[in-house]
Chains A and B, each alone.
Chain A
Amino acid sequence: MDAIKTQGLTKYYGKARGVENLDLTVEQGDFFGFIGPNGAGKSTTIRTLLGLISPSAGSASVLGLDAVRDRTAILRRVGYLPSEAVFYGGMRVREVLKLSAELRRKDCAAEAARLCERLQLDPAARVGALSYGNRKKVGIVCALQAEPELLILDEPTGGLDPLMQREFFQILRERNETGTTVFLSSHVLSEVQRNCARAAVIRAGRIVACDRVEALSSAGAKRVTVHGAVDLNGLEGLRDRKDLEDGASFLYSGGMEALLKVLAAGRVTDLSVSEPDLEELFLHFYEGGEAK
């Protein structure tokens, strides 16, 4: 059974596009990254999965249940961290966590205490007085304390300092190892690259790539950095060229033979060929606003 499956999912806000014909599959047990810039449709997809909004067309299912019809049953098994965690004014952290647990009809006190300790969150603090990062921690504990089967995290690390981000991802990895599916939306590519096994790239409401992170990172292309005098004009499969003081760096997805011929015809003083990182992949998919 898939943890998340959307087929032809389309959502329009009046005339404005949210997502369009979005097909996405996340298997159970996955640590999945959902990458895209602001306005690409990440939050619309997540909101549809959680039943906050209804699709204009297509379908979405979570843990085998229909996102519209079985909304409450889905939410019983899902923990959600919104990109901006906002809570009721005047409440203390422990009251928010207790309310969240009571709404789930579960006693999560022990797990909440463990998580608060690991995230260095003071349960006695008033949520209204918390910094953005600490509010995020409250959201994290709310999402994790009931030990759900699926975690949907919308830009989870905003406001967290690097140490806390490390602890947070450590907790996520521990959960993932015990079978929890993690679906993480982000535009911080490095955190997806470091932590996720699979990822999908969304652009203008459509999935433009979905694969294992390593496969996406290479995407058939290599980052080539050449020093010396080489004429790269006419070389097919070259993109994202950056001219250096004594050479050039570029993404190359053409044939190796053609590349070697061009290099051999020039004067190469140094050469490196490496896997591109996800940042480069991201630019590759969004370069000029066009999917490649």
Chain B
Amino acid sequence: MTLVKHELRQGRVAFWVWTGVLAFLLATCVFLYPQMKGEMGQMNDLFASMGSFSDAFGMDKLNFGSLIGYYAVECSNTLGLGGAFFAALTAASALCGEEKNRTAEFLLTHPVSRTRIAAEKLISVLLRMLGMNLLVFAVSLASVAAIGEEIPWKELCLLHLAHCLMSLEIAGICFGVSAFLRGGSAGLGIGIAALFYAANLLANVTEKARFLKYLTPFGYCDGADLVSEGLAWPKLAVGLAMAAACILAAFVYYPRKDIH
């Protein structure tokens, strides 16, 4: 596990910055809730009547006056986008970063198989995703408790589980892509995450694009759907299968890749 430790050390600054920022934003959203609670109740009708905009963000299905309704839209969007970007950035540079930063000649000339290198790098990426999600979840729970609201355990657990799975899926997909890249990976990673997000917005507003919900991990992370319908297992299964396929492709290709 030498490489796992090394990777975690190398990525520790980014990890703490992203985790800290996401936790802070979520806590801020939660702490704003008591102030917004009264106003949000009145705004429910307004949000529900904003047509496609409301549909896109699922605001037509939720009660903004309730903590979970507010949390599902405000906090989920923050955690969804932030978690997706962190996962994409971390995983997209996992394998190709060595070539880009010209450290590949150091690492790959040590007696460690490429398969082991890929495996340990993947483990370190997944550990960071799990760590970030757990810490953000803990801060979120503490924030809800701090404002004196009853913790909606089931819904909160479901929301955070879905977002954790989403970051793992995006990490898996970007990790797979990383094996095929040589140079810049940050732009592509961000692009993949943004594309998934946009696909979900599109699927929310257009019936014809509803199938996109199966292709984007945001499809099973939609706060409104999660609270009203629970976790969409078929969408989750498709997403995890996509991530598994990308990871498999990385493990097949990376050991044969020419390192320049």
Residues of A within 8 A of B (CB): 47, 50-54, 71-73, 75-76, 78, 80, 82, 84-90, 99-100, 102-104, 142
With A88-B10, A88-B103 as contacts: A54 and B258 at CB distance below 8 Å: yes
Choose from A52, A84, A89 the contact partner of B109 (Cβ within 8 Å).
Answer: A52
Beyond contacts A82-B109, A88-B106: 15 other A-B pairs, Cβ-Cβ < 8 A, are A52-B108, A52-B109, A53-B259, A54-B256, A54-B258, A72-B113, A75-B111, A75-B112, A76-B111, A82-B106, A88-B10, A88-B101, A88-B103, A99-B2, A103-B111
Judge whether A104 and B110 touch: CB under 8 Å.
yes
CB-defined contacts of A103 to chain B, threshold 8 Å: 2-3, 107, 110-112
CB-defined contacts of A102 to chain B, threshold 8 Å: 2
Q: Chain A residue with minimal CB distance to B6?
A: A99
Choose from B10, B104, B111, B258 the contact partner of A72 (Cβ within 8 Å).
Answer: B111
CB distance from B109 to the nearest CB of A (A): 4
CB-defined contacts of A53 to chain B, threshold 8 Å: 258-260
Q: Quick one: which of A51, A53, A88 has the most chain B CB within 10 A? A: A88
Q: Chain B residue with minimal CB distance to A138?
A: B106
Judge whether B111 and A104 touch: CB under 8 Å.
yes
CB-defined contacts of A80 to chain B, threshold 8 Å: 105, 109
Task: Label chain B's interface by main secondary structure.
Answer: loop
Which residues 5-33 in B have Cβ within 8 Å of A in the complex? 6, 10
CA distance A197 to B105 in the complex (A): 27
CB-defined contacts of B110 to chain A, threshold 8 Å: 75, 100, 103-104
Judge whether A86 and B111 touch: CB under 8 Å.
no
Q: Chain A residue with minimal CB distance to B1?
A: A102
With A75-B110, A99-B6 as contacts: A82 and B105 at CB distance below 8 Å: yes
CB distance from B29 to the nearest CB of A (A): 33
CA distance A130 to B85 in the complex (A): 33
CB-defined contacts of A104 to chain B, threshold 8 Å: 110-111
Range for the number of chain B residues in contact with chain A: 20 to 34
Q: Chain A residue with minimal CB distance to B108?
A: A52
Judge whether B112 and A52 touch: CB under 8 Å.
no
Judge whether A86 and B256 touch: CB under 8 Å.
no
CA distance A103 to B110 in the complex (A): 6
CA distance A110 to B106 in the complex (A): 21
Judge whether B103 and A52 touch: CB under 8 Å.
no
Return 26 A-B CB contacts under 8 Å, by A number: A50-B108, A52-B104, A52-B105, A52-B258, A53-B259, A54-B256, A54-B258, A71-B113, A75-B111, A78-B109, A82-B106, A82-B109, A84-B102, A86-B101, A86-B103, A86-B105, A87-B103, A87-B106, A88-B101, A88-B103, A99-B6, A100-B106, A103-B111, A103-B112, A104-B111, A142-B106
CB distance from A101 to the nearest CB of B (A): 10
CA distance A87 to B106 in the complex (A): 7
CB-defined contacts of A88 to chain B, threshold 8 Å: 6, 10, 101, 103, 106
CB distance from A135 to the nearest CB of B (A): 11
Q: Mark B87-126, 1 if CB is under 8 A from A, else 0.
A: 0000000000000011111111111110000000000000
Q: Mark B127-156, 1 if CB is under 8 A from A, else 0.
A: 000000000000000000000000000000
CA distance A53 to B3 in the complex (A): 22
CB distance from A49 to the nearest CB of B (A): 10
CA distance A100 to B6 in the complex (A): 11
CB-defined contacts of A75 to chain B, threshold 8 Å: 109-112
Q: Mark B245-260, 1 if CB is under 8 A from A, else 0.
A: 0000000000010111
